[in-house]
Chain A
Amino acid sequence: MGRYIIRRALQAIPLLVLLSIFMFLLIHLLPGGPEAVLDNPNLDAAGQAALRASFGLDDPLPVQYLKWVGNALRGNFGFSFATSEPVSTVIVEHFPATLELFSVALLVALLVAITIGTVSAMRQGKLTDYTLTTVAYFGISMPIFLLGLLMQEVFARYLQWLPPSGISTAGVTFDPFNSVLDNVLHLLMPMLVLTLTFVAYWSRYMRSSMIEVSKQDYMRTGRAKGVAPVPLLLRHALRNALLPLITVVAIDFGSVAGGAAITEGVFAWPGMGQLFLRSLNTRDYPVLLAILVLSAVFVIFFNLLADILYAVMDPRIRYS
């Protein structure tokens, strides 16, 4: 297993290099690239030159790339075109909000999806199954922004149970307990939107997987030997049924670096999704490049994690 992990990690390096070259070239060679963004007609020639130099644009492209890679490996992604802040600072400012949202949403979604998928599979063909299937398809087909707006309408506007947007209540200083509570109240709606979206998809995977597993010979043997349904389910079926879901969840969590753009936009949640959209709109290329590369790193890492979990969950799978 150790050798497998090392081999996969080493295989990821050329992949990341190729991806970074592709993204770097894409950003710098397309019309309207960094040169165009920094063009300021109010500066004279000396000013323009100084501005380009401050962002490292006066070097040849290969040199710019090598400098960028060298700095990136040290956590320095350059400076934002929009705010002149270090890109790493900008990302550190936004990443925790997305990590919080994603982590809680994925955890809740996993628990709910596993439960719903299992119940649906166990009640296959019955009213419960049809009901849960209908709800899942509703979740799959419901646009995220619409779901978010509806929740704001109901919970924030009419019921006034939850705040409509933001990550905290503006202008108020809380003690630690109330600060956490305030954050939880703000987190609930965006978290629910993301959770419902994930649950809709994952519960379908879980259902199919559980149906597949429950038809296996060892399950029939277990039932024949008189093992109670719940222990049979939990000790024998669940673990095997979870295997396909692991890959899907890992890939979904790998997208955390890019954030949940629509959800964060609807709820003004100051995370990576909002940052990505803003950087896209303002052509803040250093930030965009950093987010794209980080996203690639996360996807590769979580794919590897999924493979490792696979092997942990299923002793039949051995890597070498």
Chain B
Amino acid sequence: MKTRFRMRSWLTASSLVALLALLLSSCAAQGTPTTAQSTPGSTTAQKGGTWVDDLYNEPDSLIPDASVQTFAAIVDQTIYSSLFVGDSAGLIHPGLAAEMPTTQNGEISSDLKTWTFKLRPGLKWSDGQPLNADDIEYSWRLWMNPAFAAADTVAFRLITSTDISSDKLSITFHLSAPYAPFIAAWTDGRRGPMPKHHYATMDPAAIKKTENLNPQVVSGPFMMSESKPGDHYTVVRNPNYYLSAQGLPYLDKIVFRIVPDQNTILKDLQSGVADSAWFLDVTKMQAYQGLTDYSIVTNPSASYEAIHFNGNNPIFKDAKVKQAIAMAINRDELVTVARLGQAQPSCIDHGQAYHPGYQADVVCPKFDTAAANQLLDQDGWVLKGGVRQKGNQQLVFQYATTANNRWREKDEALIQADLAKIGVKLVINNYPSSTFFGPFLKGGKPGNYDMAEYASSYVYDPDGAVNFSCNQIPPRGGNVNFYCNPQLDQLFTQEVATSDAASRQKVFDQIHQVFLTDFPVVVLYNLIDVEIAKKGTHNYKPGPFGASETVNVDQWWCDNGKCPHV
């Protein structure tokens, strides 16, 4: 009797718990609805809706030029308008500027040292205050203020003086040297001007400490509504956006959810709770292809994946060793196996997104293990016990990349096997990103850092001086190849001194030749970014540079003005 009573009690209790769980789960919380029916796509943009986007990394700042992080640029693009904007093809157009400055219209001097930017009339900040040339002037001076500690001041260091017109609708910059990339330095929200009337009274050192992740006065298609670091950032339509008269932006709201795990992003997509996600894990391509209510968007990015040689290792003074390495690597296999087809084999640092920059007729080193072996034989490297030696030097190198990256691990394994066939032994050690891009690369210690694999890119302008110039070797700059070639430096000086695309292309072609004879790096391929958007969303077209995912965020829209996330 007592046993049956106890059994019945347990069964009753278990049933009650199960019932409670079912009731709770069936009670979806009721709020202002955001779901949308799945309708056939309309071609006419419709206003309204809340778009939910999963971000893989948390932005570290939402103040212009306070960060070089791509995910910060993505959110910046939604809240700041810039003088110039990029499009999905990587081309630059006027934004806040009334027109593109050119040498033809006289807004760029022929010596590229004087640049005039004309603003559209009637521009406003989100608080209704006028946006004019005073804000541009304030912004670059703030970025150059050591107390503000801007992330990138390369272009602004060249400014010697400025002139502002009496109507405050144009500003003229006088540079100390010709600099073709000057327009690129003002492109996209990450370089949007900052409101002088809001920040001028603040201590520059205090700006990032107070509004870093919640800037209050902005100029973009959206403005901050909610800032929950670690969880999400919500932006809502800015009624004072300069294109609001054209009905932009279409969306009411965008929610950027921070989801720092690719597996969790996949679960979000499989559950349908996100409308889009950028920078997806290429190793999960099959899973993404199985999401029938999403469309995968692939976009050749500006990034090039390369093996970087540490110039401090004396062996790499010998270009023939690097050339043999370039010839021994099967790029097609890397693209197929490691990137699952989401890359384009390449041997130069300028992919198809660069105009100028991209060289369609470049002759890349042919994959030829036998020829690579012959080259090393002729160079005096003798094969002993599977490893080549010359005197007391051996072709044994430490090879590193960022840790916890599945496709790079596959890359390493394939490259290690390829190079073993020519007597080059790789010892692989990987590091977390912050260590890899920090003390590891910048330390430049041979025997610790010999060869490193990672992706690089230039933003809009193809100038690569910051990565390869002699005066950019750490601690002064970002030339972590520790490579110095005066001929290359001269070519960089030439290409920034002309705005004529054809002339610049000729110089870039010569730069590519230096790359393919002296091999500061061995470029493997150009990455293809993988992103995804739910059916029922429109105009999701990430670009190859800069703000990437949100480059045309003011044109995103959803069927019936309701975005389809669950």
Enumerate chain A interface residues (CB-CB to B < 8 A): 31-32, 36-37, 39-44, 46-47, 49-51, 54, 79, 82-86, 90, 93-94, 97, 149, 152-153, 155-157, 160-175, 178-179, 181-182, 184-185, 188, 265-268, 270-271, 274-275, 277-278, 280-283
Contacts and interface: CB of A to CB of B under 8 A. Distances in A.
Given A185-B24, A185-B29, A281 B264 contact: no
A79 B205 CA distance: 12
Interface centre among B28, B433, B566 (most CB of A within 10 A): B28
B106 interface: no
Interface of B: 24-34, 50, 52, 58, 60-61, 66, 146-147, 149-154, 157, 205, 208-209, 212-213, 228-232, 234, 253, 255, 257-261, 263-264, 267-268, 270-271, 273, 432-435, 438-440, 442-443, 472, 474-478, 565-566
Contacts of A97: 230-231
Given A32-B439, A171-B50, A175-B31, A47 B261 contact: no
B7 to A, nearest CB: 11
A83 B25 contact: no
Nearest to A156: B271
Contact of B472 (A32, A41, A83, A280): A41
A258 B270 CA distance: 30
Given A83-B229, A265-B264, 4 more contacts: A164-B271, A170-B257, A171-B52, A181-B29
Contacts of A267: 264
B271 A163 contact: yes
Contacts of A153: 267
A270 B226 CA distance: 15
A184 B230 contact: no
A182 B30 CA distance: 8
A9 B346 CA distance: 65
Contacts of A166: 231-232, 257, 259
A39 B267 contact: no
Contacts of A188: 24-25
Contact of B432 (A54, A157, A281): A281
13 contacts: A31-B443, A40-B149, A41-B476, A51-B149, A85-B209, A164-B271, A165-B264, A165-B273, A172-B33, A179-B29, A182-B29, A185-B28, A268-B258
Nearest to A279: B434
A42 B146 contact: no
A181 B268 contact: no
Nearest to A163: B273
Contacts of B253: 171
Contact of A171 (B208, B231, B234): B234
A283 B434 contact: yes
Interface centre among B50, B234, B438, B476 (most CB of A within 10 A): B438
Nearest to B57: A278
B24 A84 contact: no
A153 B271 CA distance: 9
Contacts of B29: 169, 174, 178-179, 181-182, 185
B230 A157 contact: no
Nearest to A171: B50
Contacts of B25: 155, 161-162, 185, 188
Given A51-B146, A157-B270, A278 B58 contact: yes
Given A36-B439, A173-B32, A79 B259 contact: no
Contact of B31 (A79, A160, A178): A178
Contacts of B440: 32
Contacts of A42: 150-154
Nearest to B152: A42
B277 to A, nearest CB: 12
B534 to A, nearest CB: 14
A169 B271 CA distance: 13
B16 to A, nearest CB: 14
A188 B24 CA distance: 10
Contact of A49 (B146, B228, B438): B146
Contact of A54 (B32, B147, B439): B147
Contacts of A47: 146, 149, 153
Interface centre among A84, A152, A153 (most CB of B within 10 A): A84
A282 B259 CA distance: 16
Contacts of A43: 146, 149-150, 153
Contact of B267 (A54, A93, A157): A157
Contact of B149 (A54, A86, A169): A54
A221 to B, nearest CB: 22
A168 B228 CA distance: 11
Contact of B477 (A31, A41, A160): A41
A43 B153 CA distance: 7
A164 B273 contact: yes
A310 B328 CA distance: 69
Nearest to B230: A270
B267 A173 contact: no
Contact of B61 (A84, A161, A179, A181): A84
A169 B147 contact: no
Nearest to B22: A161
A184 B25 CA distance: 10
A152 B152 contact: no
Nearest to A271: B230
Nearest to A55: B149
Contacts of B258: 268, 270
B232 A156 contact: no
Contact of A84 (B208, B271, B273): B208
A178 B271 contact: no
A84 B260 contact: no
A166 to B, nearest CB: 6
B223 to A, nearest CB: 15
Nearest to B147: A50
B260 A36 contact: no
A93 B474 contact: no
Nearest to A151: B267
Contacts of A184: 24
Nearest to A128: B10
B146 A266 contact: no
Q: Give the 5 A-B residue pairs with the shortest CB-CB distance, closest first.
A: A270-B230, A182-B29, A32-B439, A171-B50, A84-B208
